[in-house]
Structure 1
C-alpha cells in the first residue's frame, strides 16, 4: 500500500477532499444544504453509538470515512505503516471443514478475528463461513462503497471433471485465496470500517438480508445514469489507467497460457520418468555384474521424478493462482473505472443541459444543486480511485516480487536435487581401473 496523508488524498477537482460530501450521503447532504464534516481527530472519546452521523434535521448521512476519531487516526496509520505495528484488525481464514446434508454438500472455513477497535463489542471472534458468505460480503461492499476497488474473490465454479472442488488441494487453494481476500479488505483504510464487514466477522448467524435495504442512491445512480449520454473523454490519468489494465491483462494471459503448457509438459515428463525408473530396477535383477550401477540409476531417476513433482505442484498451487487473482483484480478495477465514467458522463450531461437553458433564457442562472452534487461525486470517485490505484500498484509489486522469488527458489531447489542425485550415482558408473576412480579412492 502507498503512503497516504490527508493532503495527498485531494481530488482532481478544485475542492479539497475534506469539503466533498461522500457519494453515499451526497443527496441527503445536498438537500439539507450542508456538507458532511470530517471526523474530529482530536476527539478520543468516540463510542459506537456516535458513529452514525446525522444532519441538523435528523437525516442520517452515511460516509465512507470512519466516524470515530480512533478509526480515522487508524485509517491514516494503516496507509503509513505496512508492517502491522499500528494495525488494530487482524483476520485469518483457516480450518476448512466439509458438511454433508440431505440437500447439499459444502465447505465452511473458520474466520478468526482479533481487534481493539471500539466498533466491535469483543476483542476476539471466531465464526464459520462458506464461500457464498464471502460472496455476500463482496457484493455488499461493492454496493455500499461504489467508489472503491473491492478485492476479487476466487472463481466460484470449476470445470466439471477437471477439478474436484472437495479435494484437499482445491480446498486449500481456495482457503488461501479467501484468506488473502479478507486480509486485503481488513487492511483497507475505508473498507475495513464497513458495517457489513463488521457483521461478517462478528455475527454468529449471518443474516444475508440485512444489507439489502442499504443499497444507496449513489449505487443506483451509478448503474442507471446518463440516459444514453456518451462520455466525451476520460481525463488523461484515468485513460492511462485503462491502457495499462489492457496491456497488463494481455501479458498475464500470455504468461498464464505458457505456464499451463509448461505444467502439462512437466506432468507428461513426470509420467515417463516414473515408468523409466522401474525398467532399470527390473534390468538390475537379471544382470548381476551391472546390478549396482543400474539400481543407482533407478534411484537417481526416482529422486528426479520426486523433485519434478514438487516443482509442478508449486507452479500449480502457488504461481497460477496469483496470475488468476490479478486477472480478476483487473476486472474489478475496470468496473470501478466504468462507474467513474458513468458519473462523469452524468455530470457532463447536466452541464450541457444547464448551458442550453442559459442560452434559451439569455440570462445568467445559478448552477442547479444537482449539478454541484454530481460534481462532488465525480471528485470523490477520482480521489478514491487514485488512492486505491496507488495501493493496488504497491500490492502488485510486492506480490509479484514474492511470486518470482519463490519461482526462482523452487527451480533452484529442483535442479540442485537432480544434480545431487546424478552426482551420487557417478561413482557407481566409473570403471574401478579408471584414473577418476583411483583419484576418488585416494581421496577417501
Structure 2
C-alpha cells in the first residue's frame, strides 16, 4: 500500500548523502521500521509477537553458531561434546540453555502470532501472501527443531529420530527407500547425525531469508489491525518509530525477563530428563515424545489406530501433515467480508472452542498412548479438521457481523465525522 503522507527519508550530512546515492541501506531501514513506515494507530500488544519471533530467530542463529564450534556430529562423541559444552566451555552452559529454551520461546511466540492471525483473519485479502509465507516459515521451523532435538544424542534424541523417520516408511512404494535415504542407513547412526547437523545449521538461514520475504510482502498492503478496517487517511496511522519501537521494546523486555527466569532458574523445565541419558538403541524409553511444541501434531498422528482402506499409520502421517497444510487454503475457506473476530460474534465462539481443542491436543500429545487419551485424541482431531473444513466456511456464509467502525480513527478516538460523511456519500452513490 502506498502512503502519500509517509515521511520521506532525507540524509542529514555528507556521508549519509554519499551512502544514500550509492548503497541506500539507511533509506531501506527508515522505510521498513522507521518514521517512514506508517502503521495503524490501534495495534495492540498482540502485534508484538512478530518482533519477538524475529528476536528469538536471531538468538537461535547466534547461539547456534557458537555451539557448532564445540559440537562434534559423531555418535561416539556427540553426547560427550554436549556435556563438554556444559562443563568446560566458558559460558557454555548459558549458551546451550539459551539455545534450548530459545527454541521453546520461539515456538511459543510463533503460536501466539498464528492464533492472533486466526482471530483477526490476518490471512484475508490483500495479505494472503504474508500468511502463506508465514506457514512456510512454520514448516521450516518444525524441520529445524526436529533435527536440533536429535543432536544431543540422548535417549529421547535417538528414539524420536527413529520414530519420526519411521513414519516415512508408511508411504506406499517409496516409503522404505525414502526412510533409508533420510537416515543414510537402516537406523539412526553417524550418517543421520551428520545430515541432521548440517541441515539444522543451514535451515535457520533459510528461515531468515523467508522472513525477509514475509516482511516485504507485509509492507505492500501494510499491517492489519484489531478492527480489520483498512487505513483510509493520515489520522489512521502513526510512524513505526518511535511509537511502536517503544511498544515492541517494552514487550520484548517483559518476555526477556520470563525467558531469563527459565534460563537461570529452571533451564530443563521444558526439556525431557531422558535426554540426559546417552542414546542406547537397546533400551526403549517408557514414553517416547517429541518436544512440547510438536505435541498437537503428535496427538493427531497417534489418533489413528485402525486400518481403513489405507493402513492406520499412513492415515496418521497424512493427517499430521494435513493439519498444517490446511492453513495454506485458509484464506479461501473463510469467505466473510469482515476480518476481525471482534465484530463476528458466532465466529468468536467457535474460535475459542478451537483454542480449547488445541489446548487438549497439546496435553494429549504428551500423554501415554492408552485409553482414555487415544479416544480423546480422536475427538480433538476430528473437531480440528471439522472446524477448518466445515464450521468456518458455514459461519462465514451465514453469520451476521456487528457494525464496523467507519475508520481506525473512529475506533480509537470515537466519532469520525469525515469518515461518516464519506460512507454516507458512498452509500448514496
TM-score range with shorter-chain normalisation?
Answer: under 0.3
What is the TM-score when the length of structure 1 is the normalising length? 0.23
- Name which one, 1 or 2, has greater alpha-carbon Rg: 1
The answer to which structure has the higher helix fraction is 2
What is the TM-score when the length of structure 2 is the normalising length? 0.24
The answer to which structure has the higher strand fraction is 1
